[in-house]
Amino acid sequence: MKHQSTHFASPEETFDPRSGSFIERVLFNHRFVVIIICALVTGILGWQATKLTINASFEKTLPTHQEYIQNYLKYENELTGLGNALRIAVVNPNGSIYDAHYLELLRQFSDEIFLLPGVDRVQMASLWTPSTRWIGVTEDGLDGGPVIPEGYDGSPASLQELKANVARSGQIGQLIAADEESSIIYMPLLSESATGEALDYAKYSDVLEELRAKYQAEGLEIHITGFTKVMGDLIEGVQAVLWFFALAVVIATIMVFWYTRCVRSTFLVVFASLLAVVWQLGILPTLGYVLDPYSILVPFLVFAIGMSHGAQKMNGIMQDVGRGFDKLVAARFTFRRLFMAGLTALLADAVGFAVLLVIDIKVIQELAIAASIGVAVLIFTNLIILPIMLSYVGVGEKAAQRSVINDIDADNVKKMPALWVFLDKFTQRQWAIGALIAGAVLAVVAFSLSTQLKIGDLDQGAPELRQDSRYNQDIAFMNQHYGASSDVMAIMVKTPDGECSQYETLKKIDALEWQLRQLPSVESTNSLALLSRRVLSGLNEGNPKWYEFLPNQSMLNYITAGAPRGLYNNSCNLLTVYVYLQDHKADTLSNIVNHVEAFAKDNNTDDVQFLLAAGSAGIQAATNISVKAAWYQMLFLVYGAVALLSLITFRSFKAVVVALLPLMLTSIMVEALMVQLGMGVKVATLPVIALGVGIGIDYALYILSITMVGLRQGTSLSQSYLRALNFTGKVVMLTGVTLSVGVITWIASPIKFQADMGLLLAFMFIWNMLGALILLPALAHFLLKPKYISTTKPHAESVL
Amino acid sequence: MFSQKKAVANPILVNVTGKLLIIVFAALLFCRVGSVMAAIPDAIERPAIESTLGAHSVLMSVTHLGDKLIAVGERGLILCSDDSGNSWRQLSSPVSVTLTGVRFFDDKNGYAIGHGGIVLRTTNGGVDWEVQLNGRQLADHLLQYAEESGNEESLGQAQLLVADGPDKPFLDLLLLGRDHLVVVGAYGFAFESKDGGETWVSWMDRIDNPFGLHLYSIRKQDSRVLIVGEQGFVALSEDGGETFETIETPYEGSFFTAQLMGGDDIVLAGLRGNTFVSNDNGQDWKEIKNPISSSIIASFIHSDGQVIMANQAGVLLGLRENRLVPLTRKRLPPLTNVLEQANGSVLALSIHGPVSIDVGDFK
């Protein structure tokens, strides 16, 4: 990156339009054509952007090449027991469910659900569905009937009968809460509607919310859980994030205006940055991408990066106009000076994003692609179109004058702003030592904390949403009243066709289940083997002495034939073992995974294989494994890429060290911050460090490149640094703050991982900026001395 | 089973494909079977794993051992309590089958029975348990016995038993001496051993049970021995078990528990809470009124003389004259067994582990 510090010409000389690079001549000698093309492109992409859809895809968050996920995807359609179902708990706030008014409302509610499109009506269950039955043992065998007694009329007698039926239905803890003050409407969903359309989560969620509102108005209390609701709430949250974008635009605009005090140019910079966002949003649907809760951060980043680069361009033009140049000439000079510099910085950002492509998780890859598109677009909008527009519009007279007043002699320390003088102290020995010791202490403390960094999600409930969100409160209600854990790990057991009920296989499952239940985090399990224990007791008149997994093939075949779906598949070649967990913490999951792996190693045969993993906790375990591997891989790659880029720019290993050490400190501190905030490494936090480092290197590039030019010319470190501060210091600060502001608004996002990302990114942007302004000169004091450079490369620079 | 068919089919291949192929086949077959066996043995041969869930599991039977308690249940669990059932620790057990009964003769010698035709014996107060009998050995014994006797019918039955494998449980146990016990179980199983389980004598030819009904309970008082079971089956011996007479009852449902009272009194209880009392060794029966139509699984005679029963609705019932009276207000989990503690209170076993019931709760 070359910041040319020489003035090109004085205002008195006439400007030769044939001067400048080829690109410059092509662009600036056909300014009007460029503007027209830009308008056309904006029109087309703007129209395309209206087609952009927001969706949340579960599968895209999966590491699709991970072994467990491969297993899951292979058998996904066979795993009926993990189907997409909603559970609606209907609470009677006035007490027990044996209340005529409550039951009438429940009946209406249940009927409405039954009629909703996409509901699997055969499997749907509530107190009112005919499938909810009681069973009793009699001398002649089994007897039973619907729990709602025949001729139910809401009278005390029929309520009493209902209560007795519920008691012997075995549904307490399943469809009816243990305290009998609420009951469940179980609502399995078909993955496709009758017409073959995929389930629209957002729409479904809206319908459920309407129903919730309706029946809460009637005096009931409603809790809804299920994957569809999580997705619906997520999409709703993403839509809320659009308001944060507006807020970020307003704040960034105010900041740029505060910096320039020029309405015209501030407007242009905001306009160019928004143009970049529009183009980017237009390109996404053109290439077939949608915006998801992860990639929605990209428009924020693109806008913020655009603002900082735009401000830099405008700063140059303003100074040239202030020195008396015509606005066109000023624009061309600025383009000449800063195009390559801007390009290098944007390419550095792009490298930071591109590194994310190696991670085998689609949302992260799409985020990387979207961000790369955004950065590419910025090259046009902010490096080309913005100067051309400025060449037409010009800048405010007063602001231009003001910018030159600030444009003071770099060598005259007394005229420097106090902040520059303060920062310059870090080029002196004492202050440098102090800064480095402070940095080292921070690094040691942060590092010792960061060793506790956990992989995975650490909170209860749906990790995508906040702990106190409506949904997670509903989950807590379900866990408390129905004892049903929402964290399920499903182990798939593959057998030859038709042999899912073989004794040898079920015996292994039975043993595995009991082993797993000994693990402290396992709440309960379920499988065909466990069912056979229960059913055997039932078949023997309910006598508990028959509670056993019987080594009798014909009995097992008989039990299998009558088993509910979900424990094995239609072709009887896949069994599912469900393990219900207390939580989905990384340690919990790895414990289970390790146990099952060891068991599978001892027990797998050519015919029968124990395969991990399905269910929310199984997917999470697989994701954790991938994320853990990707974390180090990504750190290695992003630092490698950034180091290479710095080496090319500075052509000095020591300079690379000076540029990278502050970034590393920030990376370690982010890990420590994550430990402090109880955040784990997960799909959402994975890209943060890559983005932070990729963008963070910009600061070092801006400051160090100008400092290096000075040093190579033989000026002292202090003078070189002051000159760099004067040229780009303000812009670096503006960039740091603008970027932070661009993402900090997310802390208010209803989506937990967005709030986490916003906080971590804002932290990284600010600390990287401080590192570049404080640690960089301190490190340079020890590593980059003008003497050193002039002895190794005597007069090399001045010759060039 | 398919694997057996394949194994049988292999020799037929000898002529067709040559010996080399067979050796390969056999080697493959053995390898596979070998590795399966090594990993997870059948429950009758698999020691119970260490478990923290013992006190929350399905427990079936409990007995005193000095001032300690010993309970058995699912997955080969043998538990010991030193504090009247407040806390339980697991004892090592050589099997993983559901154990259905446990009795001690003194504070050293005891037996436990269970599924898979299992009889376990301890001679050191429950520290070590040894398998005295399992279903496989039992079937082999019976086959050998039948072959020796030359009785075609019992030979056929024994061959069936061998083919079935060890899938038949013992359901109750009567301990008559240190080395003398009688076990009864599914399909009419009834065997006696007078040498601590070394050799066994079948009682099945003394009991007229042509349909092989499950035998759920065996009781002895003086010279009377009572066996009750499925579909109203009741057999009474008045000569210490030498001969049995089938008793007619007015009920055709199953009896799960029975008590021999003083004199000629018999109490039977079972399916859906049906309870009958006879005062003349089963000549006449009267039905006892029971407010809860839930199966009665277990009973005992309290030291105060009252018969107390436990049902699947989680209620203890006391037999008062002609009716059963609920003794507990709070619904417990479905109960499986009951035992009187030293202080007169009751320890109940349930499908979720032991529950102590204070005397005050039901007196």
- Enter the tokens of residue A533: 């224990």
- Enter the tokens of residue A544: 């508990």
Task: Give me the sign of the Cα torsion angle A586, A591, A592, A597.
Answer: positive
- Assess whether pLDDT exceeds 50 at residue B36: no
Is the CB of residue A577 less than 8 Å from the CB of residue A489?
no
**What is the distance between the alpha carbons of residues A757 and A739, in angstroms, rounded to a whole number?**
13
Question: Chain B window 265-324: which residues touch A at a Cβ cutoff of 8 Å?
Answer: 271-272, 295, 297, 312-313
**Residue of A793 and B131 predicted with greater confidence:** B131
Q: Give whole-number Cα distances, A384 to A31, A38, A304, A393, in Å.
A: 10, 10, 17, 15
User: A-chain residues within 8 Å CB-CB of B49?
Assistant: 514-515, 518
- Assess whether pLDDT exceeds 70 at residue B125: yes
User: A-chain residues within 8 Å CB-CB of B96?
Assistant: 511, 514
Q: List A614's β-bridge partners, or say none.
A: A490
Closest CA to A175 of A199, A194, A147: A147
User: A-chain residues within 8 Å CB-CB of B230?
Assistant: 541
Q: What percent of chain B has pLDDT over 90?
A: 69
Min distance B43 CA to chain A CA atoms (Å): 8
User: What pLDDT does B71 receive?
Assistant: 97
DSSP H or E segment with residue A40: helix A31-49
User: B-chain residues within 8 Å CB-CB of A139?
Assistant: 252-253, 271-272
**What is the distance between the alpha carbons of residues B363 and B345, in angstroms, rounded to a whole number?**
10
Is the CB of residue B258 less than 8 Å from the CB of residue B217?
yes
CA A669 and chain centroid, separation: 20
User: Which superfamily is assigned to B46-205 in CATH?
Assistant: YVTN repeat-like/Quinoprotein amine dehydrogenase (2.130.10.10)
**What domains are defined for chain A?**
85-225 (no CATH), 238-407 (1.20.1640.10)
Q: Is B78 helix (H, G, I), strand (E, B) or coil?
A: strand
Is the CB of residue A541 less than 8 Å from the CB of residue A550?
no
Choose from B36, B218, B233, B255 for mutation: most chain A CBs within 10 A. B36
User: What pLDDT does A502 receive?
Assistant: 93
**What is the distance between the alpha carbons of residues A323 and B278, in angstroms, rounded to a whole number?**
121
Provide the 10 A C-beta neighbour count for residue A2: 12
**What is the distance between the alpha carbons of residues A218 and A65, in angstroms, rounded to a whole number?**
49
| Span of A238-242, A417-421, A740-744, B16-20 with lowest mean pLDDT | B16-20
B219 touches A: beta carbon within 8 Å: no
| Span of A755-764, A780-789, B214-223 with lowest mean pLDDT | A780-789
Choose from A545, A546, A550, A603 for mutation: most chain B CBs within 10 A. A545
Is the CB of residue A504 less than 8 Å from the CB of residue A607?
no
Q: Which residues lie below 8 Å from residue B267, measured CB to CB, with a gap of 6+? A: B258, B259, B261, B275, B276, B277, B299, B307, B319
**What is the distance between the alpha carbons of residues B102 and B118, in angstroms, rounded to a whole number?**
12
Min distance A139 CA to chain B CA atoms (Å): 5
User: What pLDDT does A248 receive?
Assistant: 86
**What is the distance between the alpha carbons of residues B16 and B14, in angstroms, rounded to a whole number?**
6
| Span of A3-17, A293-307, B203-217 with lowest mean pLDDT | A3-17
Closest CA to A631 of A445, A442, A455, A430: A455
- pLDDT tens track for A103-152: 999 999 999 999 988 888 888 889 998 888 777 766 666 677 888 988 88
User: What pLDDT does A411 receive?
Assistant: 52
Min distance B167 CA to chain A CA atoms (Å): 5
- Enter the tokens of residue A163: 């209560």
Q: Is B326 helix (H, G, I), strand (E, B) or coil?
A: strand
Query: Which residue pairs, CB below 8 angstroms and at least 24 apart, start in A426-432?
Result: A426/A774, A426/A775, A426/A777, A426/A778, A426/A781, A427/A717, A427/A718, A427/A721, A427/A777, A427/A778, A427/A780, A427/A781, A428/A718, A428/A781, A429/A781, A431/A778, A432/A777, A432/A778, A432/A779, A432/A781, A432/A782
Range with the largest mean pLDDT of A171-185, A444-458, A594-608, A687-701: A594-608
- pLDDT tens track for B304-362: 889 999 999 899 999 998 899 999 888 788 999 999 988 888 999 999 999 988 755 45
Q: Which of B49, B53, B167 sits opposite A551 (nearest CB)?
A: B167
B189 touches A: beta carbon within 8 Å: no
Closest CA to A352 of A776, A635, A769: A635
Q: Which of A508, A548, A550 sits opposite B40 (nearest CB)?
A: A508
- Assess whether pLDDT exceeds 90 at residue A292: no
DSSP H or E segment with residue B300: strand B296-301
User: What pLDDT does A6 receive?
Assistant: 41
User: What pLDDT does B22 receive?
Assistant: 39
CB contact under 8 A, B116 and A508: no
User: B-chain residues within 8 Å CB-CB of A515?
Assistant: 49
- Assess whether pLDDT exceeds 70 at residue A471: yes
CB contact under 8 A, B58 and A499: no
State the residue for tokens 């949340």: A56
Q: Which of A548, A552, A602 sits opposite B39 (nearest CB)?
A: A602
- Assess whether pLDDT exceeds 50 at residue B35: no
User: What pLDDT does A289 receive?
Assistant: 87
**What is the distance between the alpha carbons of residues A32 and A27, in angstroms, rounded to a whole number?**
9
Provide the 10 A C-beta neighbour count for residue A115: 9
CB contact under 8 A, B40 and A138: no
- Enter the tokens of residue B90: 């697991």
Q: Which of B36, B50, B75 sits opposite A605 (nearest CB)?
A: B36
pLDDT category of residue A519 using cuts at 50, 70 and 90: very high
Q: What DSSP character marks residue B182?
A: E
Closest CA to B281 of B320, B244, B242, B318: B244
Provide the 10 A C-beta neighbour count for residue B316: 23
User: A-chain residues within 8 Å CB-CB of B35?
Assistant: 605
Range with the largest mean pLDDT of A191-195, A461-465, A727-731, B183-187: B183-187
State the residue for tokens 């050995």: B137
Q: What is the mean pLDDT of chain B?
A: 86
CB burial of residue A70 (10 Å; 0-12, 13-18, 19+): middle
Is the CB of residue A205 less than 8 Å from the CB of residue A465?
no
Question: Chain B window 38-97: which residues touch A at a Cβ cutoff of 8 Å?
Answer: 38-40, 42-43, 46, 49-53, 58, 60, 74-75, 96-97
- For chain B, the straight-line distance linking the first and the last C-alpha, in angstroms and rounded, comes to 55
Q: Is A264 helix (H, G, I), strand (E, B) or coil?
A: helix
Q: Which residues lie below 8 Å from residue B55, measured CB to CB, with a gap of 6+? A: B79, B87, B88, B353, B354
Show which residues on chain A lie within 8 Å of chain B, measured between beta carbons. 136-139, 167, 499, 502-504, 507-508, 511, 514-515, 517-518, 520, 533, 540-553, 555, 602-603, 605-606
Closest CA to A574 of A489, A488, A500: A500
- Assess whether pLDDT exceeds 60 at residue B49: yes
Is the CB of residue A462 less than 8 Å from the CB of residue A451?
no
User: B-chain residues within 8 Å CB-CB of A502?
Assistant: 1-2
- pLDDT tens track for A79-94: 876 767 888 999 999 8
User: What pLDDT does B28 receive?
Assistant: 41
- pLDDT tens track for B196-236: 999 999 998 899 999 999 999 999 999 999 999 999 999 99
Q: Which of A520, A548, A555 sits opposite B115 (nearest CB)?
A: A548
User: What pLDDT does A546 receive?
Assistant: 94
Is the CB of residue A630 less than 8 Å from the CB of residue A683?
no
- pLDDT tens track for A31-60: 899 999 999 999 999 999 998 887 777 778
User: What pLDDT does A702 receive?
Assistant: 77
| Span of A72-86, A217-231, A664-678, A711-725 with lowest mean pLDDT | A72-86
CB contact under 8 A, A606 and B32: yes
- pLDDT tens track for A409-423: 545 555 667 888 888
**What is the distance between the alpha carbons of residues A148 and A159, in angstroms, rounded to a whole number?**
9
User: What pLDDT does A14 receive?
Assistant: 67
**What is the distance between the alpha carbons of residues B108 and B124, in angstroms, rounded to a whole number?**
5
Map A688-728 to HEC letters: HHHHHHHHHHHHHHHHHHHHHHHHHCCCCHHHHHHHHHHHH
Is the CB of residue A646 less than 8 Å from the CB of residue A93?
no
Q: Where are the domains of chain B?
A: 2-39, 46-205
- Assess whether pLDDT exceeds 50 at residue B4: no
- What count of residues does chain A have? 800
Min distance B336 CA to chain A CA atoms (Å): 7
**Which ipTM was obtained for this model?**
0.89
Looking at residue A666, its amino acid is T
- Assess whether pLDDT exceeds 90 at residue A565: no
pLDDT category of residue A257 using cuts at 50, 70 and 90: confident
User: What pLDDT does B360 receive?
Assistant: 58
